């Protein structure tokens, strides 16, 4: 069995509400992305069959509802979670879903997480910042407490950096190069890795030892910087090293980046028990042949099976 856990979809009503609020929405309109994102039925399943993927875990495209005012975020998060739950109910052997949460309404987040879990959502996808609030802000501790108690893994996905950061670091070229630099070329991944590192430094996993976080794109740069990041743990007075938290509280996905060198590096930092397959559909769209060739890079059959489905099944209760 092969499970992909970062397979995106989009709610048209949410896209309309986000118009003008997030430049990265432009990527949803490239090629046939919009058609693929809105398809929660037979077309998506046909593509999964072509790739050899048995189960897709559906998740909203960035920025979810986090860029919206609180009231609108609450309403559209509920709509998105209801729509995703219906898609899963129509295709229960092929789909699961991650919830969308109204992070701009911090005191509503835990309740919506619980409601979504009751609907059958197997985890949630959030981003490192909502307005000026960072994910490690104490205002979100009720959410993290609920995620731990409900055994809802938190997928920490990249998002567009703030305008202030874009002005300071990501502009000065033509508009498309500016956007690419701030997103898939660099900024998305540094932003998400920093959000994860801040959660660690805040002592989140000392307070919530059973909380599980998922990072895409081979750990959003963080796996490549653990030697230096471990020094931060001593300065911050943490109980363990950053790399220890990565091995106990984080799972890492491929996000369609099927590069054997990245696999080898990830296995030098964490274990095969922490690696999970994903394609980042439809933004990455590997063929069955490419997927099969990558799976052959695993030296041990047991590790390959964990990566393909065992780890995702255990983490998300699939």
Residues serving a catalytic function are 280
Contact predicate 289/258, CB 8 Å: no
Question: How does DSSP classify residue 308?
Answer: I
What is the rounded (10 degree) CA torsion for 105, 107, 112, 115?
-160
The C-alpha atoms of residue 109 and residue 191 are separated, in whole angstroms, by 22
- How does 20-30 read in b/e, with b if 16+ C-beta sit within 10 Å? eebebbebbee
The C-alpha atoms of residue 4 and residue 283 are separated, in whole angstroms, by 14
The C-alpha atoms of residue 82 and residue 275 are separated, in whole angstroms, by 29
The C-alpha atoms of residue 135 and residue 116 are separated, in whole angstroms, by 20
């Amino acid at each position: 069995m092969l499970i992909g856990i970062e397979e995106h979809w989009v709610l048209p009503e949410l896209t309309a509400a986000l118009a003008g609020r997030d430049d990265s929405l432009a990527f949803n309109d490239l090629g046939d992305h919009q058609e693929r994102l809105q398809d929660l039925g037979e077309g998506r399943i046909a593509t999964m069959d072509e790739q050899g993927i048995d189960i897709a875990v559906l998740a909203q495209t960035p920025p979810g509802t986090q860029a919206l005012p609180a009231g609108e975020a609450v309403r559209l998060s509920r709509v998105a979670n209801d729509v995703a739950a219906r898609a899963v109910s129509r295709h229960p052997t092929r789909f699961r879903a991650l919830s969308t949460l109204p992070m701009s309404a911090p005191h509503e987040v835990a309740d919506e997480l619980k409601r979504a879990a009751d609907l059958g959502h197997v985890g949630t996808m959030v981003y490192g910042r909502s307005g000026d609030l960072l994910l490690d802000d104490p205002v979100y501790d009720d959410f993290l407490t609920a995620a731990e108690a409900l055994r809802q893994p938190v997928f920490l996905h990249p998002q567009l950096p703030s305008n202030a950061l874009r002005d300071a670091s990501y502009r000065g070229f033509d508009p498309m190069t500016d956007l690419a630099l701030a997103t898939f070329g660099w900024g998305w991944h540094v932003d998400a890795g920093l959000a994860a590192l801040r959660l660690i430094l805040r002592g989140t996993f000392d307070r919530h030892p059973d909380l599980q976080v998922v990072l895409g794109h081979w750990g959003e740069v963080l796996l490549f910087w653990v030697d230096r990041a471990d020094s931060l743990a001593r300065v911050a007075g943490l109980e363990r090293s950053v790399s220890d938290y990565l091995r106990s509280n984080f799972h890492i996905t491929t996000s369609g980046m099927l590069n054997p060198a990245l696999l080898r590096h990830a296995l030098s930092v964490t274990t095969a028990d922490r690696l999970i397959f994903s394609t980042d559909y439809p933004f990455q769209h590997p063929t069955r042949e490419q997927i099969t060739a990558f799976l052959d890079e695993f030296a041990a059959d047991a590790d390959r099976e964990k990566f393909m489905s065992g780890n995702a099944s255990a983490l998300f209760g699939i």
